[in-house]
Structure 1
Amino acid sequence: MREAARPRAGPGRGRRGWRDDRGAVMVEFAGIFPLILIMMAAIWQCILIGYTYSLAGNAADEAARAAAAADGDAEGACAAAANESLPGAWDAEVSCPLEGGTRVVTLDVKVPVLFPGAFNLPALTVTGTSATPEEGP
């Protein structure tokens, strides 16, 4: 009868075997966790920038429609419609000049940093524009 061959002892195969690496996963996770948080924050900020573009375009369209259909104060109707269309956490500057027979709305919306309403990115402003012909009597 032949005895089964025993595995040779090599690196990491001493008496304790794989248990020598205990705690290594925790150390690796602790080292990579800040990078994971930074990546998640960057992705979230990109989502907020995209959402701000969507909000700016929609608010400019709504403001142009309201200004074109206004009977009296088109500038006031334009600003009111733009501010109604934007959530309260987004700050915007509205411009609604009449160029020829067309009401042109330019809306500059400031992009928030990570949490809408906390503070805005000073260097990043999203512009939404829209134009609608004036409705006359």
Structure 2
Amino acid sequence: MNMPLRERDRGQVTIEFLGMTPTIIVTLVALWQVVLVGYTFILAGNAADEAVRQATAAEPGGARDAACEAAGLKHLPEAWRGSAEVTCGGSGYVTADVKLEVPILFPGTLSVPFPVRGHAGAVEEEDADGAS
């Protein structure tokens, strides 16, 4: 008893889709994780830029460190802010380093074991009288 070709293949597309579903899901998860890594690099660089910008305008000493850290943390989303480390240093040429952890799938949960670092530097601003 021969069946027509059309009836023999009935349901084949459904079976193939179900077989590919895990591959599709794993691919989407991997792409989302790559997006999170890239976004964390962007956040780290921006935080370092903001921190060094504020540090160059502040008076050297404790006020500079406080302004630098506050500016570095100001624009970070809450999920990244909790584990962020902002350090500033230098005299004449001020630098800011920001270290962020990359979340796994959902910001605010587990993190990838390697940190993302952002670095920025700028020359100190001078007052109108020529003092730095």
Aligned amino acid, residue 110 of structure 1 = E
Aligned partner (choices 95, 103, 107) of residue 104 of structure 1: 95
* Cα RMSD, aligned residues only: 1.8
1:37 maps to 2:25: yes
Residue type of the alignment partner of 1:92: A
TM-superposed deviation, 1:18: 1.3
Structure 1 runs not aligned, ≥5 long: 1-12
Tell me how far apart the structure 1 counterparts of residues 104 and 58 of structure 2 sit (CA, whole Å).
35
Q: Larger helix proportion, structure 1 or 2?
A: 2
Larger radius of gyration: 1
Match of 2:110 in 1: 119
1:86 aligns with 2:76: yes
Q: Distance in 2 between matches of 1:30 and 1:17?
A: 22
TM-score, structure 1 as length reference: 0.81
Which SS does the other structure have where 2:21 is aligned?
helix
Q: Which runs of 5+ in 2 are unaligned?
A: 128-132
Query: 2-side partners of 1:37 and 1:121: how far apart?
Result: 20
Residues paired across the two proteins, number: 123
Alignment of 1:1-137 (within 5 A): 14-71=2-59, 73-90=63-80, 91-98=83-90, 100-122=91-113, 124-137=114-127
TM superposition score normalised by structure 2? 0.84
Q: Report the alpha carbon displacement of residue 47 of structure 1 after superposing the two structures with TM.
A: 1.1
